[in-house]
């Protein structure tokens, strides 16, 4: 399943098994900053958080926004994916 962009709430969401995981972002100073990555316990260890973060930064790239990770998970993801920095 592919994450869905919800620009009215600054979120990318992915629903599975009746649960919704999401990334909440903010755009400022030419950056897309992921503030929160929320994955319900029942959906953990499936790569959903990584898929949400990647999709968010990929979308940001199309908008000429630099990635920033205020959220620990997003910050760690960026450290592992230097091609986004």
pLDDT tens track for 21-63: 999 999 999 999 999 999 999 999 999 999 999 999 999 999 9
- The CATH classification number of 4-84 equals 3.40.630.30
Which residues touch 1 (CB under 8 Å, ≥6 apart)?
A: 14, 15, 16
Mean pLDDT of 60-75: 98
Q: Give the pLDDT of residue 12.
A: 98
Query: Does the pLDDT at position 85 exceed 90?
Result: no
- The answer to whether 34 and 70 have CB atoms below 8 angstroms apart is yes
- Residues 54-73, mean pLDDT to the nearest whole number: 98
Question: Residue 17 and residue 36: Cα distance in Å, rounded?
Answer: 21
pLDDT for residue 27? 98
Q: Which residues pair with 72 in a beta bridge?
A: none
Distance of CA 15 to the CA centre of its chain: 14
């Amino acid at each position: 399943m592919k994450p869905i962009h919800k620009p009215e709430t600054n979120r990318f969401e992915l629903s599975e098994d009746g649960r919704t995981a999401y990334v909440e972002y903010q755009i400022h100073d030419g950056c897309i900053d992921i503030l929160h990555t929320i994955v319900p316990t029942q959906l953990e260890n499936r790569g959903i958080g990584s898929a949400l973060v990647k999709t968010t930064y990929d979308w940001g790239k199309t908008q000429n926004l630099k990635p920033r990770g205020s959220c620990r998970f997003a910050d760690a993801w960026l450290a592992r994916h230097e091609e986004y920095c």
